[in-house]
Amino acid sequence: MTSPCPLCTPTDENVLYLTDLYRIIYANDPAWPGLCRVILNAHATEMTDLPIEHRAAIMKAVCVTESILRELMHPDKINLASLGNVVPHVHWHIIPRWQNDTHFPDPIWAAAKRTWNNKPVIKHQDIADRLKAYLG
């Protein structure tokens, strides 16, 4: 018996924005300030499993989230990732990155290279307010 998909049965998510198609959550990961995810509400494994209109709506949400994080946090780079190897459910990670973060320039899933002093601070409510303003 396979275990249920954790993105189909979420617990303790900090939802910033919700539609019938997707939700945008704040990851609440102290190691990665600003880390957000856009998660498809229905179960699908690949973006190409979705109708083109749904793909476009999800990518708009990813890009709007990226823009908001850039505006609020001024990172050196934003990483966008949709892997699904561990959780095969359509979702995107929007990850603000700084040259002095613990892993830069490697992905956040790599081994840390250094400690990170003076991490940026962001209030998830600021992100939520801007998402509502941009997405409706």
Q: What are 61-119's pLDDT values in tens digits?
A: 999 999 999 999 999 999 999 998 889 999 999 999 999 999 999 999 999 999 998 89
Check: pTM over 0.85? Answer yes or no.
yes
End-to-end CA distance of the chain: 41
- pLDDT tier at 2, thresholds 50, 70, 90: low
What's the CA gap between 123 and 111, in Å, rounded? 27
- Identify which of 88, 77, 70, 72 has the alpha carbon closest to the alpha carbon of residue 3: 88
